[in-house]
């Protein structure tokens, strides 16, 4: 049975644990936007930036809480012209418990119902089977692949691209 999972806007009260969990190379490595090594003080800086972006309506960052404990983060990024991009990560001690999926459902509902988005996109490394599966369980449809190069990756990586429209989401919920 899954522990109660909730989301709340990111805040500095979770900065220390966020930084500890996200500093794990296993969390950062399969992503394209989490730096590694994670900079000291990076969590507080990211939280402040996320709060500014929320105020501007361009991104919405959330803490994922399981039984009240911080376990990861989920966001709607790059909000413009009725669409945004979902992103999420969960600390390694909490992998495989369904937290990303449950939090993702809540973030999607927020994006469509509260922000008024018409479409969400999602991306993950094709080899990141956990994240790939989360997007599928959330109802996203695979739309294609692209190659991405990052300095920390020895070769270009194949990235899977997904999308979910409000109408399809409404039929599922």
Give the Cβ contact number of residue 158 at 10 Å.
12
Q: Report the predicted TM-score, pTM, of the whole model to 2 decimal places.
A: 0.93
Q: Which domains does the chain have, with CATH numbers?
A: 5-172 (3.40.630.30)
Confidence at residue 29, expressed as pLDDT on a 0 to 100 scale: 82
pLDDT tens, 99-108?
999 999 999 9
Confidence at residue 2, expressed as pLDDT on a 0 to 100 scale: 62
CA angle 56, 60, 65 (to 5 degrees): 145
Could you check whether the bond before residue 41 is cis, i.e. omega within 30 degrees of 0? no
- Mean pLDDT rounded to a whole number for the chain: 93
User: What's the gap between Cα 18 and its chain centre?
Assistant: 13
- Rounded distance between C-alpha atoms, residue 51 and residue 9, angstroms: 8
pLDDT tens, 31-64?
777 888 889 999 999 999 999 999 999 999 999 9
Grade residue 1 by pLDDT with cuts at 50, 70 and 90.
very low
Confidence at residue 106, expressed as pLDDT on a 0 to 100 scale: 97
Confidence at residue 66, expressed as pLDDT on a 0 to 100 scale: 97
């Amino acid at each position: 049975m899954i522990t109660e999972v909730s989301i709340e806007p990111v805040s500095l009260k979770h900065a220390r644990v966020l930084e500890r969990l996200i500093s794990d190379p296993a969390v950062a490595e399969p992503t394209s936007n989490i730096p590694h090594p994670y900079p000291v003080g990076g969590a507080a800086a990211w939280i402040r930036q996320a709060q500014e972006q929320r105020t501007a309506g361009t991104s919405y960052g959330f803490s994922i809480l399981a039984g009240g404990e911080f376990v990861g983060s989920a966001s709607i990024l790059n909000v413009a012209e009725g669409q945004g991009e979902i992103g999420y990560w969960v600390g390694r001690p909490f992998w495989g418990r369904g937290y990303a999926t449950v939090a993702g459902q809540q973030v999607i509902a927020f994006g469509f119902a509260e922000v008024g988005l018409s479409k969400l996109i999602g991306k993950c490394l094709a080899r990141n089977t956990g994240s790939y599966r989360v997007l599928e369980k959330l109802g996203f449809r695979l739309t294609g692949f692209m190659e991405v190069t990052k300095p920390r990756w020895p070769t270009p990586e194949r990235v899977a691209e997904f999308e979910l429209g409000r109408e399809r989401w409404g039929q599922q919920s």
